[in-house]
């Protein structure tokens, strides 16, 4: 008898980048650019009993980079972009707003049927900056190495460290340390971007020129409806009013007029009434309940039954209950249906349902047909595998990177911040972003480096064509400093 041979170890992972050449027609002329797509192997320094054991592979992270041919690295900006979730790939910013190709899918109330389309994006930020789109571990094609533990990457701190290492590697290998550098994040990606601004400075001495925070959330306490936290209720009110306006509950009024009313009420009488609780006199209760009902489009009796506290998932279900419809969380302009007309909260987000199919189809076509990268792995557009996401750094307190962002700005006074808000975004409401930014502990002279832009759409405001065009121009102006 012969002893069985030990199982063969898997081959060590290697980068599998693919490079292709392209052109893009823009309003200012034709761009010749190079795309690089594939997975890069991340390694960490291993030490055993105080002895350096080399660099051990940890993960294979997928990225797509677009670089302008013949540009001077000393003056050519580079923007690293990612989305949020946690659990989202970078497909939304990649094919919705920033990249040289974009999805064609229609919009709320006028969606096109499958299989949708993909066209050149003349407004791409590539006209002004090289672009690098990064998918965090367990999203897109990014994975832990064979035998690795994905959960080790699923949390605030390891996520920042992993994406930070991807950025350091790309900048170093492509000799871009002297290029102007920007980060673009959406949703949880804004929290990640703010944390990265501080991390890259502190860990690698890499100072950024700007952050593009799209649908910003820097302090989870401003948007989380938890027991004893009345802060989100007033901050969501103007967004509720905007959604009600879109669905016809404020006939004859302009959106700006409705928002002004809601913002005024949300900053004064409403939080005062919530703080009074049972001490609120009957006359004031009648006045506040009536005002809330008028602004949100909800029945006054409902507003009273919930003690003036309108939780967002309930609002999405309640607003159009009479017509059997629900409204979207990511974008309140979208509507859907439920199987049970008496349910309390939505069981799915009709706005996410509307955009997931088009973006998934577009990327799976684009990555093979245009970028030349082939993989039999499923491209994880939105992955639940990252849950539960670890916030152990914030045990006993709200998740917030306000301190990180303000520290980065104080240490780097040249760091500018662009914030993009959608009026119909009920995931990261615009007034919550305004409040958090207003309370940043930075000196007044640094506040001139923060700009906020608003769009009549939702979380992914670029699915609304007028907003996409306006936002593309705003980001171009921010990166070039031409505003």
Q: In this predicted model, what pLDDT tens digit does every residue of 335-370 receive, in sequence order?
A: 999 998 889 999 999 999 999 999 999 999 999 999
Question: Using the 8-state DSSP alphabet, how is residue 105 labeled?
Answer: -
**What pLDDT score was predicted for residue 15?**
84
Residue 321 to residues 18, 250, 293, 302, 403: CA-CA distances in angstroms?
51, 17, 15, 12, 41
Point out the residues of the chain with pLDDT beneath 70. 1-8, 47-49, 51-54, 483
Indicate the pairing of strand 130-134 with strand 51-68.
antiparallel
Distance CA 327, CA 337 (A): 9
Instruction: Please say whether the beta carbons of 59 and 158 come within 8 A.
Output: no
Q: Spell 442-464 as b/e; 16+ CB within 10 A means b.
A: beeebeebbeebbbbbbbbbbbb
For residue 409, the surrounding DSSP H or E stretch is helix 402-411
**What pLDDT score was predicted for residue 47?**
63
**What pLDDT score was predicted for residue 89?**
98
Q: Spell 309-323 as b/e; 16+ CB within 10 A means b.
A: ebebbbbbbbbbbee
**What pLDDT score was predicted for residue 55?**
72
Quick one: which of 231, 265, 232, 247 has its CA closest to 316?
247
**What pLDDT score was predicted for residue 220?**
96
Beta-bridge mates of residue 182: 79, 210
Quick one: which of 329, 330, 328 has its CA closest to 462?
330
Beta-bridge mates of residue 326: 336
Instruction: Please say whether the beta carbons of 288 and 262 come within 8 A.
Output: no
Q: Spell 375-402 as b/e; 16+ CB within 10 A means b.
A: eeeebbbbbeebeeebeeeeeeebbbbb
pTM equals 0.95
**What pLDDT score was predicted for residue 366?**
97
**What pLDDT score was predicted for residue 483?**
63
Distance CA 397, CA 202 (A): 24
Geometric angle at alpha carbon 331, from 101 and 358, rounded to 5°: 35
* pLDDT (tens digit per residue) in 186-242: 999 999 999 999 999 999 999 999 999 999 999 999 999 999 999 999 999 999 999
Instruction: Please enumerate, as own/partner, the contacts of 17-23 that have beta carbons within 8 Å and a separation of 24 or more.
Output: 18/371, 18/372, 18/373, 20/370, 20/371, 20/372, 21/69, 22/100, 22/370
Quick one: which of 270, 257, 271 has its CA closest to 423?
257
Distance CA 394, CA 407 (A): 18
> Tokens 């955009």 correspond to what residue?
355
Beta-bridge mates of residue 55: 45
Please report, for the chain, the start and end positions of each structural domain, with discontinuous segments joined by +: 18-221+354-480
Q: What is the fold, at CATH topology level, of the domain defined by 18-221+354-480?
A: Rossmann fold (3.40.50)
Burial of 73 (0-12, 13-18, 19+ CB in 10 A): middle
**What pLDDT score was predicted for residue 456?**
97
**What pLDDT score was predicted for residue 453?**
98
Distance CA 204, CA 137 (A): 21
Quick one: which of 171, 208, 151 has its CA closest to 73?
171
């Amino acid at each position: 008898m012969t002893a069985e041979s030990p199982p063969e170890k898997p081959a060590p992972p290697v980068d599998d980048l693919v490079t292709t050449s392209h052109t893009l027609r823009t309003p200012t002329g034709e761009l010749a650019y190079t795309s690089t797509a594939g997975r890069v192997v991340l390694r960490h320094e291993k030490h055993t009993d105080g002895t350096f054991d080399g660099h051990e592979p940890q993960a294979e992270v997928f990225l797509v980079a677009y670089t302008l041919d013949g540009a001077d690295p000393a003056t050519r900006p580079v923007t690293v972009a990612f989305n949020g979730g946690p659990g989202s790939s970078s497909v939304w910013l990649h094919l919705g707003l920033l990249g040289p190709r974009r999805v064609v899918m229609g919009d709320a109330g006028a969606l096109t049927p499958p299989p949708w389309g993909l066209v050149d994006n003349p407004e791409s930020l590539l006209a002004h900056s090289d672009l690098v789109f990064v998918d965090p571990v367990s999203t897109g094609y990014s994975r832990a190495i064979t035998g690795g533990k994905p959960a080790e990457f699923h949390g605030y701190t390891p996520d920042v460290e992993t994406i930070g290492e991807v950025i350091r590697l790309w900048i170093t290998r492509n000799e871009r340390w002297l290029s102007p550098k920007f980060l673009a994040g959406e949703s949880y990606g804004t929290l990640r971007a703010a944390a990265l601004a501080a991390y890259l400075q502190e860990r690698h001495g890499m100072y950024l020129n700007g952050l593009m925070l799209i649908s910003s959330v820097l302090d989870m306490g401003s948007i989380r409806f938890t027991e004893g936290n009345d802060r989100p209720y007033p901050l969501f009110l103007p967004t509720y009013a905007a959604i009600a306006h879109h669905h016809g509950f404020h006939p004859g009024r302009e959106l700006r007029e409705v928002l002004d009313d809601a913002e005024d009420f949300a900053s004064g009488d409403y939080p005062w009434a919530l703080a009074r609780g049972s001490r609120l006199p009957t006359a004031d209760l009648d006045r506040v309940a009536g005002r809330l009902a008028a602004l949100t489009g909800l029945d006054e009796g409902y507003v009273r039954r919930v003690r003036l506290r309108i939780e967002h998932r309930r609002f999405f279900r309640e607003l159009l209950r009479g017509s059997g419809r629900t409204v979207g969380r990511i974008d309140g302009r979208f509507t859907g249906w439920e199987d049970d007309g008496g349910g309390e909260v939505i069981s799915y987000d009709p706005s996410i349902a509307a955009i997931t199919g088009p973006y998934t189809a577009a990327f799976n076509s684009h990555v093979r047909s245009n970028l030349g990268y082939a993989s039999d792995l499923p491209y994880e557009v939105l992955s639940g595998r990252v849950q539960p996401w670890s916030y152990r750094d914030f045990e006993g307190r709200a998740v917030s990177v306000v301190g990180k962002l303000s520290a980065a700005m104080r240490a780097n006074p040249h760091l500018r911040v662009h914030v993009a808000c959608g009026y119909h975004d009920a995931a990261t409401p615009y007034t919550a972003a305004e409040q958090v930014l207003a309370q940043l502990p930075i000196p007044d002279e640094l506040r001139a480096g923060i700009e906020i832009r608003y769009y009549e759409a939702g979380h992914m405001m670029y699915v609304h064509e007028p907003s996409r065009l306006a936002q593309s121009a705003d980001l171009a102006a921010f990166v070039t400093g031409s505003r």
